[in-house]
């Protein structure tokens, strides 16, 4: 029954959960673990009360009313923050199978304690989209925030962006450069959006693929009779991701505002980001776990259910891109890791059995991200344990301006904490995962390092392979504008203007 989870409403322990009710105590002491922050690691105890970390130091003494967890030999780390998810998203004529409860329950079982989901406007309206997502998120069992997509442009949308930032706790807007005919925007809109983001101190995010060229590529595949899942990848090659990434970077440079490139899947896109960052531009690159650990080979699998589960955009690339993205993450070219968790079950994927263009795009990852990254990056020696915390949690909190409330094990931070045993191991399967989908793109993967305990908002929600989660216990985390990425932008603008060396109104008549 390991893929079931107990729903616990505060105050009682449902029969069969198997977790001592003392773990529901509002006071927790984590003893003797190695506490890891992005800036340092040290052996210390962590004392939590009423959802907040109260003190971090060695040898804390407590009374009998405290639930004590022995973490010796294990790592005590900030819960993961997934910057990129789609729960209960209406997309490609269907809706993702994980909602804000099942997706978050899966996240908690894998050591992620906060995620930032993308609000999709309703008929272009940001306010209507926000209201709809607020309702969807009522069943949340962990903390969450929102990015907002912008899919059309007029004065109303421009004003709604301001309302989102000033009244609704949103500090990032996503522009889809692909999905022609649905979410896709053009350069004109992107420029307007970048300007408005800059003036509001909000971060512009892009899904970078050339949507017009993808449309052409899809026609080409269909004309060639390539209708299976491999046609998806062949219709949108890396060059189209590189082109759109370069274009978005140059437009952001022209406006002089920071840019965040979501789901960087190819060497082509990564190299554009590397070049821009080398020149001093503020560009953030987010690889997702599928791009880091998978290659495209399974798209050619003779079984449609198997092949179609790998369809996502941008596509999972041929072998070689994965290793290059790992290297870029370990050297700081890319800064944080998301999942783009956007799951459809095999029945939904089968909508595209005759035509890959109808396969709903998206893969799982919210439960698997922390384990796969630990195994792939830390166990292999590519990154340190402190870097693991940085790329899975702290950097996300900094970029979206919620650090050190989130992303740290410090006195005063929210008690979102995981305990990872480096000597234990994990195995991934759709039979045991907590997502509602019936397939898993990481099926059969095993690795070292296991999240044994997850504490969310000061409550033990995952222990002994059992989940104890309650709908409605998650909080909406408002995110303020003008993160560190905006510091100094005004000075750069001023020096740009003085560098123009062009007189104002030089030939304009004074009359």
Ligand X SMILES: NC(=O)NCCC(=O)O
Contact residues: ligand X, CB under 6 A: 86, 207, 263, 312-313, 340, 342, 361-362
Min dist CB 290 to ligand X, Å, is: 9
The beta strands (E) that lie in 391-483 are given as 417-427, 446-456, 459-463, 466-469
For residues 142 and 149, which CB has a smaller minimum distance to Zn ion in the complex?
A: 149
Min dist CB 258 to Zn ion, Å, is: 18
For residues 27 and 358, which CB has a smaller minimum distance to ligand X in the complex?
A: 358
For residues 231 and 458, which CB has a smaller minimum distance to ligand X in the complex?
A: 231
Min dist CB 341 to Zn ion, Å, is: 8
Q: Which residue is nearest to ligand X (CB)?
A: 361
- C-alpha closest to that of 112 among 470, 462, 395, 405: 462
Min dist CB 198 to ligand X, Å, is: 23
Q: Taking the C-alpha atoms of 318, 323, 328 and 334 in order, what is their torsion angle to the nearest 10 degrees? A: 60
Min dist CB 207 to Zn ion, Å, is: 3
Cβ–Cβ < 8 Å for 397, 403: yes
* 171 binding partner (options ligand X, Zn ion, none; Cβ < 5 to 8 Å by kind): none
| Structure tokens, 312 | 């996502």
For residues 340 and 368, which CB has a smaller minimum distance to Zn ion in the complex?
A: 340
| Structure tokens, 335 | 């800064």
For residues 149 and 333, which CB has a smaller minimum distance to ligand X in the complex?
A: 149
* Integer Cα distance of 280 and 286 in angstroms: 18
Min dist CB 12 to Zn ion, Å, is: 38
Min dist CB 86 to ligand X, Å, is: 5
User: Around Cβ 35, how many Cβ atoms within 10 Å?
Assistant: 23
| 374 DSSP assignment | I
Q: Is the peptide bond before 314 cis (omega within 30 degrees of 0)?
A: yes
* 439 binding partner (options ligand X, Zn ion, none; Cβ < 5 to 8 Å by kind): none
Min dist CB 41 to Zn ion, Å, is: 32
* 362 binding partner (options Zn ion, ligand X, none; Cβ < 5 to 8 Å by kind): ligand X
* 433 binding partner (options Zn ion, ligand X, none; Cβ < 5 to 8 Å by kind): none
Min dist CB 7 to ligand X, Å, is: 28
* 198 binding partner (options Zn ion, ligand X, none; Cβ < 5 to 8 Å by kind): none
| Pairing, β 41-49 against β 52-57 | antiparallel
For residues 31 and 263, which CB has a smaller minimum distance to ligand X in the complex?
A: 263
* 236 binding partner (options ligand X, Zn ion, none; Cβ < 5 to 8 Å by kind): none
Q: Got the DSSP string for 193-222?
A: HHHHHHHHTPEEEEE-S-HHHHHHHHHHHH
| Structure tokens, 249 | 């970077």
Cβ–Cβ < 8 Å for 337, 400: no
Phi, psi of 325 (to 5 degrees): -70, -40
| Structure tokens, 18 | 């198997």
Min dist CB 334 to ligand X, Å, is: 17
For residues 359 and 378, which CB has a smaller minimum distance to ligand X in the complex?
A: 359
For residues 25 and 439, which CB has a smaller minimum distance to ligand X in the complex?
A: 439
* 361 binding partner (options ligand X, Zn ion, none; Cβ < 5 to 8 Å by kind): ligand X
* 196 binding partner (options Zn ion, ligand X, none; Cβ < 5 to 8 Å by kind): none
* Integer Cα distance of 110 and 85 in angstroms: 15
Min dist CB 396 to ligand X, Å, is: 16
* 115 binding partner (options Zn ion, ligand X, none; Cβ < 5 to 8 Å by kind): none
For residues 265 and 408, which CB has a smaller minimum distance to ligand X in the complex?
A: 265
Cβ–Cβ < 8 Å for 382, 330: yes
For residues 30 and 312, which CB has a smaller minimum distance to ligand X in the complex?
A: 312
- Which residues lie below 8 Å from residue 383, measured CB to CB, with a gap of 6+? 329, 330, 377, 391
Greatest Cα pair distance in the chain: 86
For residues 85 and 376, which CB has a smaller minimum distance to ligand X in the complex?
A: 85
Cβ–Cβ < 8 Å for 214, 178: yes
* Integer Cα distance of 460 and 466 in angstroms: 10
* 312 binding partner (options ligand X, Zn ion, none; Cβ < 5 to 8 Å by kind): ligand X
* 396 binding partner (options ligand X, Zn ion, none; Cβ < 5 to 8 Å by kind): none
For residues 193 and 362, which CB has a smaller minimum distance to ligand X in the complex?
A: 362
Q: Which residue is nearest to Zn ion (CB)?
A: 207
Cβ-count burial of 309 within 10 angstroms (0-12 exposed, 13-18 middle, 19+ buried)?
buried
Query: If binding means CB under 5 A, how many residues of this protein chain bind Zn ion?
Result: 2
User: Around Cβ 219, how many Cβ atoms within 10 Å?
Assistant: 12
Residue window 313-352: x/- pattern of binding to Zn ion, with contact defined by CB under 5 A: ---------------------------x------------
What ranges in 364-488 are assigned the alpha helix state H? 369-373, 385-389, 395-399
Min dist CB 313 to ligand X, Å, is: 4
Q: Which of residues 199-258 bind Zn ion (CB under 5 A)?
A: 207
- Using the CB atoms, write b or e for 236-256: b if 16+ within 10 Å: bbbebbbbbbbbbbebbbebe
* Integer Cα distance of 10 and 185 in angstroms: 45
* 210 binding partner (options ligand X, Zn ion, none; Cβ < 5 to 8 Å by kind): none
Which spans of this chain sit near Zn ion (rule: CB under 5 A)? 207, 340
């Amino acid at each position: 029954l390991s893929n079931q989870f107990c729903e616990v409403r505060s105050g009682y322990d449902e029969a069969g959960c198997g977790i001592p009710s003392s773990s529901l105590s509002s006071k927790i002491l984590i003893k003797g673990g190695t506490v890891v922050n992005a800036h340092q690691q040290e052996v210390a105890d962590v004392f939590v009360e009423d959802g907040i970390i109260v003190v971090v130091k060695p040898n804390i003494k407590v009374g009998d009313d405290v639930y004590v967890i022995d973490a010796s030999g294990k790592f005590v780390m900030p819960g993961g923050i997934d910057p990129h998810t789609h729960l209960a998203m209406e997309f490609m004529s269907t809706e993702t199978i994980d909602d804000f409860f099942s997706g978050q329950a899966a996240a908690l079982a894998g050591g992620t304690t906060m995620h930032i989901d993308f609000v999709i406007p309703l008929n272009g309206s940001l306010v209507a989209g926000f209201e709809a997502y607020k309702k969807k998120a009522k069943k949340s069992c962990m903390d969450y925030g929102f990015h907002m997509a912008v899919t059309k442009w007029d004065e109303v949308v421009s004003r709604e962006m301001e309302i989102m930032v000033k009244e609704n706790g949103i500090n990032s807007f996503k522009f889809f450069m692909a999905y022609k005919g649905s979410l896709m925007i053009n350069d004109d809109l992107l420029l307007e959006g970048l300007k408005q983001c800059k003036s509001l101190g909000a971060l512009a995010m892009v899904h970078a693929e050339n949507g017009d060229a993808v449309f052409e590529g899809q026609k080409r595949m269909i004309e060639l009779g390539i209708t299976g899942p491999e046609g998806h990848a062949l219709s949108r090659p890396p060059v189209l991701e590189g082109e759109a990434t370069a274009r978005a970077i140059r437009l952001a440079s022209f406006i002089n505002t920071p840019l965040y490139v979501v789901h960087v899947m190819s060497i082509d896109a990564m190299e554009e980001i590397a070049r821009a960052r080398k020149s001093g531009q503020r560009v953030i690159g987010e690889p997702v776990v599928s791009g880091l650990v998978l290659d495209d080979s399974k798209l050619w699998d003779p079984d449609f259910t198997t092949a179609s589960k790998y369809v996502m955009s941008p596509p999972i690339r041929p072998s070689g891109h994965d290793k290059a993205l790992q290297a870029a993450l370990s050297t700081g070219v890319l800064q944080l890791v998301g999942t783009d968790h956007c799951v459809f079950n095999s029945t939904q994927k089968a909508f595209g059995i005759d035509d890959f263009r109808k396969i709903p795009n998206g893969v799982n990852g919210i439960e698997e991200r922390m384990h796969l990254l630990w195994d792939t990056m830390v166990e292999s020696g590519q990154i340190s344990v402190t870097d693991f915390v940085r790329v899975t949690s702290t950097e996300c909190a900094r970029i979206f301006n919620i650090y050190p409330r989130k992303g740290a094990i410090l006195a005063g931070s929210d008690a979102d904490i995981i305990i990872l045993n480096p000597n234990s191991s994990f195995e991934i399967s759709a039979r045991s995962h907590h997502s509602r989908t019936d397939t898993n793109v990481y099926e059969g993967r095993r690795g070292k390092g296991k999240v044994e305990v997850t504490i969310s908002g000061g409550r033990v929600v995952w222990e002994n392979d059992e989940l104890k989660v309650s709908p409605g216990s998650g909080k909406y985390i408002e995110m303020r504008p003008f993160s560190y990425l905006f510091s100094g932008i005004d000075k750069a603008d001023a020096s740009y203007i003085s560098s123009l060396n062009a007189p104002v109104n030089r030939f304009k008549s004074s009359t």
